[in-house]
Amino acid sequence: MQLLAPECPRCREKLRRNGETLNCSGCGIIYPLNSGVADFLTPLSLAQELIDICDYFDNSAVNYDNMIVTMVEELKCPWREYSELIERVVAETRKKLIVNLGCGTSFPVGSFIPLDSHYLGLDISSEMLKQSCSLFDDDSNASFWRIDVERLPLPDNSADLCLAFFSFNVFINLEETIRQINRVLKADGELFGTIALTLPQENLLKPLGPISAQQLDVLLRGLKDRGSELFTERKGNILFFHLKPATAKAP
Ligand SMILES: C[S@@+](CC[C@H](N)C(=O)[O-])C[C@H]1O[C@@H](n2cnc3c(N)ncnc32)[C@H](O)[C@@H]1O
Ligand SMILES: [Zn+2]
């Protein structure tokens, strides 16, 4: 499957590959490719709040998989059930562009991506992206971009499935994030993810804040207006959400 050319996150002009860089003919910015990861952030300025989040996840990347398993279990959702639910949706997404927003280490979702789909892992933390890359072979059906979710370098109507596992618990501006998802999702595209409704008392993942089902419902209203329907399933204190075209069958 051919991956779409990225757009400049600053001026939205199409980018052209030139050796180890992606060049914008609109505003002249040059984005580096570092060990296969396209870096859309280093040439742009980042707010201090985002730098702090990025540093936190850079420093947690090596231990992150253990931390997330612990958190899921402490939220009273057995890890096996958690990963099986993710596998059920992702593994049936065939010949599609799957975009993971705040992909982190891509664990466990990376192992469920069908070979005939393309996986695009997006994250602000280069260390988390490094862990993600290590899950896939060099010639695999996956790409990784270092981005800020509020400035997605993707064309309109390009993604078939957007994923967001616990990312909404961290993203600073959820309204803008939803606007971006609305923009990049195809008309029949889907959004699937999880939120933590509460957090464990001894929360290891400091930047996370809880989100209620009502907050999520309000947030996703703009997306539902495009004729989609929201399905949710609660496992312990984790809410799975799946927004899909209204005609699709319930899970
Ligand atoms: C709680 S982790 C979730 C990681 C992964 N989705 C999972 O299932 O474990 C949140 C991720 O969002 C990333 N992140 C935070 N703010 C971001 C932003 N503004 N743009 C892109 N990624 C961001 C963090 O670096 C981190 O990897
Ligand atoms: Zn540009």
pLDDT in tens, 106-125: 999 999 999 999 999 999 99
Residue among 148, 150, 125, 239 nearest 193 (CA): 239
Whether residue 11 is contained in a domain is answered as: no
Check which CATH number belongs to the domain holding 103 and give it. 3.40.50.150
Whether residue 28 is contained in a domain is answered as: no
**Helix, strand, or coil here: 155?**
coil
What are the tokens at 66? Answer: 């253990």
The average confidence (pLDDT) of the chain is: 94
CA–CA dist 117, 181 (Å, integer): 19
Whether residue 2 is contained in a domain is answered as: no
Q: What is the mean pLDDT of residues 175-185?
A: 96
Whether residue 21 is contained in a domain is answered as: no
| pLDDT of 251 strictly over 60 | no
Q: Residue 14's pLDDT is what?
A: 94
pTM above 0.75, yes or no: yes
Q: What are the backbone angles phi and psi of residue 128, rounded to the nearest 5°? A: -65, -40
Q: Which of 18-27, 218-227, 238-247 has the lowest mean pLDDT?
A: 218-227
Report which protein residue has its CA nearest ligand 1's atom 16: 171
Whether residue 26 is contained in a domain is answered as: no
Report which protein residue has its CA nearest ligand 1's atom 11: 102
| pLDDT of 38 strictly over 80 | yes
Using the mean position of ligand 2's atoms as its centre, give its distance from the Cα of residue 27 in Å.
4
Q: What is the mean pLDDT of residues 214-233?
A: 90
The number of the ligand 1 atom at minimal distance from the alpha carbon of 205 is: 1
| pLDDT of 248 strictly over 80 | no
Residue among 171, 163, 220, 195 nearest 77 (CA): 195
Q: Residue 247's pLDDT is what?
A: 74
Using the mean position of ligand 1's atoms as its centre, give its distance from the Cα of residue 204 in Å.
15
Whether residue 25 is contained in a domain is answered as: no
Using the mean position of ligand 2's atoms as its centre, give its distance from the Cα of residue 8 in Å.
5
Domain span including residue 95: 37-245
| pLDDT of 157 strictly over 90 | yes
| pLDDT of 85 strictly over 70 | yes
| pLDDT of 183 strictly over 70 | yes
C-alpha distances in Å from residue 105, one per residue of 17, 66, 85, 187, 197: 26, 11, 18, 28, 22
| pLDDT of 250 strictly over 80 | no
- Could you tell me if residue 137 is left (phi over 0), alpha (psi between -120 and 50 degrees) or otherwise beta? beta
Q: Residue 202's pLDDT is what?
A: 86
The contacts of residue 46 (CB under 8 Å, 6+ apart) are 54, 148
Give the number of the ligand closest to the Cα of residue 14.
2
Whether residue 23 is contained in a domain is answered as: no
Q: Residue 222's pLDDT is what?
A: 80
Residues near ligand 1 with C-beta < 6 Å?
A: 50, 53, 57, 68, 102-104, 123-125, 128, 147-149, 165-167, 170-171, 205, 208
Q: Residue 249's pLDDT is what?
A: 56
pLDDT in tens, 40-67: 999 999 999 999 999 999 999 999 999 9
Q: Which of 82-91, 105-114, 211-220, 225-234 has the lowest mean pLDDT?
A: 225-234
Angle at 239 between CA 234 and CA 241, to 5 degrees: 105
**Number of folded domains that form the chain:** 1
Percent of the chain residues past pLDDT 70, beyond the cut: 97
Whether residue 210 is contained in a domain is answered as: yes
Sequence-ordered strand ranges (E) for the chain: 15-18, 21-24, 30-34, 37-39, 97-101, 118-123, 142-146, 159-165, 185-196, 228-235, 238-245
